[in-house]
Amino acid sequence: MTHQRHWIEDAVVYHIYPLGLCGAPHNNDFISPPAPRLKTLYEWLDHIQNLGANAIYLGPLFESSAHGYDTADYFHLDRRLGDDDTLRELCSTIHQRGMRLIFDGVFHHVGRHFWAFRNLLEKRQDSPFCTWFHHLDFTKSNSYGDPFWYEGWNGCEDLIKLNLRNPQVCQHLFAAIKSWVANFDIDGLRLDAADVMDVGFLTDLASFCRSLKPDFWLMGEMVHGDYRRLANPSLLDSVTNYECYKGLYSSLNDRNYFEIAYALNRQSGNDGLYRHLRLYNFADNHDVNRVASTLLNQDHLYPLYILLFCMPGVPSIYYGSEWGIEGKRTATSDAALRPALSLQQVHPTKHHALPGLISRLAHIRRSSRALCSGSYTQLFVSHEQLAFSRQHGSETVVIALNAANHPAMIDIALPQKANVLYDMLNPGDHFAIVNGKARIELQQPCWGRILQVEQSQRPAS
């Protein structure tokens, strides 16, 4: 039986936080006419495709109180971004360009302006929606002075936890998903706070989504724990790879490639826990500091992105980070992570070569089945150098990284019968394989090689 190739195998995801990028006001007044700020994204589409991305993940879009994760209405675009036609036309344009589209599904909690919660505030025990909210208790009050208490996400009373075991709640949320597929033809969902959601609900959601589209992709936000708890055949396709997110930068900051090497072996080696999964890999996102602000040496952006695109899983880019922009969260605000950006005003000075590298990496990755979905084998690791291979069928690719500020030389052994390694990242460079071994020169500091293993010498051009 022929394996049906899922579109995510070839995906490079571009992650946008629309309320931020489009410069929407922080708070929704719920009375202003729709303002089509979402149209700002049209000018980004050429840039996104030039980077080599072929899937767009749009952060929260629907009517909310402030940051989008405090939903007020699942069925209409946030008025700060436009109206439903604004979103429908953008989604149609994205699909016409041959790109996939992923929405943020925020189903664990809602905001205080959510229509059913407003009814609860008005009618209290007489509200027909009392059972929609988790652990609602009329014997206590909360910090808002409501005559009841409820459970919020992580103790936050702005984010009211839904009772996902209530069939009416599930019916409402599934109706929203069905409308997103019907009206916007979405190809997948990122599920916010999936790691604290009811597994029974997630099981039903997965089955429902795949009944709408057999190749619908589901990825859950998961910060800690065994990823297989949520990413498995009966639940989600993928989860956020926070383990490697941390290893990507800290192995560089600490001059310790052993850290990320350990994580990659644990996840994807011969006995790896997740070797059959395609985890969602990222260097930064809307919740964590920009990687350029995290790295102690920003020249490490280059080996970091080479690794991000060559390691097992699905690579993603968070808007603006392709220029190495900086941003740190504070104790009270994530605003610096979610800035308004204009393509005309972005003028990188330090990392003008980074977008070109990302584009090359995306195209190299997509041209290689081994990089998209091959196995992982560690070949060499030291404090500042790392080499591994990816193999699919008869194709083998070797990735060699140098995080040092000086040239390096590494020796690797290859089990495959081959004669030469050709560098796809640095065209013209090649290395002989003699008796299954090769010595690879890493002349350029903070850089790497992506080497195609071949049986014979190519004729001189």
Share the mean pLDDT of the chain.
96
Residue 367 has a CB neighbour count (10 Å cut-off) of: 12
Q: What are phi and psi of 137, to 5 degrees?
A: -140, 115
CATH number for region 7-371: 3.20.20.80
Residue 455 has pLDDT above 90, yes or no: no
pLDDT score, position 1: 40
pLDDT of residue 417: 82
How distant is the alpha carbon of residue 234 from its chain centre? 21
Percent of the chain with pLDDT over 90: 94
Higher pLDDT, 364 or 348: 364
pLDDT of residue 78: 98
Cβ contact 132:163 at 8 Å? yes
* 132-164 confidence digits (pLDDT tens): 999 999 999 999 999 999 999 988 999 999 999
What tens digit of pLDDT does each residue of 199-219 get?
Answer: 999 999 999 999 999 999 999
DSSP string, 331-353: SS--GGGS----TTT---SS-TT
Kindly report, residue by residue over 409-434, the tens digit of the pLDDT: 999 999 778 899 999 999 999 999 99
Q: State the amino acid at position 315 in one-letter form.
A: P
Enumerate the domain spans of the chain. Answer: 7-371, 374-454
Q: Is 27 helix (H, G, I), strand (E, B) or coil?
A: coil
The CATH number given to 374-454 is 2.60.40.1180
pLDDT at 369: 97
Per-residue pLDDT of 365-396, as tens digits, reads 999 999 999 999 999 999 999 999 999 999 99
Q: pLDDT by residue (tens digit) across 48-91?
A: 999 999 999 999 999 999 999 999 999 999 999 999 999 999 99
Cβ-proximal residues to 262 (8 Å cutoff; 6+ apart), any chain: 247
pLDDT tens per residue, range 184-199:
999 999 999 999 999 9
29-51 pLDDT, tens digit per residue, is: 999 999 999 999 999 999 999 99
Contact, 61 vs 189, CB < 8 A?
A: no
The pLDDT-based confidence of 457 (bands split at 50, 70, 90) is low
71, 60 Cβ separation under 8 angstroms: yes
d(CA 197, CA 163): 10
Burial call 418-438: b when 16+ CB within 10 Å, e when fewer: bebbbbbbeeeeebebeeeeb
Residue-level pLDDT at 459: 56
What separation in angstroms does the CA of 149 have from each of 6, 95, 144, 193?
45, 44, 10, 21
Tokens of 173: 């949320």
Identity at 286, one-letter amino acid code = H
pLDDT of residue 458: 60
The confidence score (pLDDT) of residue 346 equals: 82
- Residue 123 CA to residue 43 CA, distance in Å, equals 46
Average pLDDT on 254-268 reads 98
Question: pLDDT value at position 3?
Answer: 55
Q: What sign does the CA torsion over 187, 362, 400, 395 have?
A: positive
Per-residue pLDDT, averaged over 107-124, amounts to 98
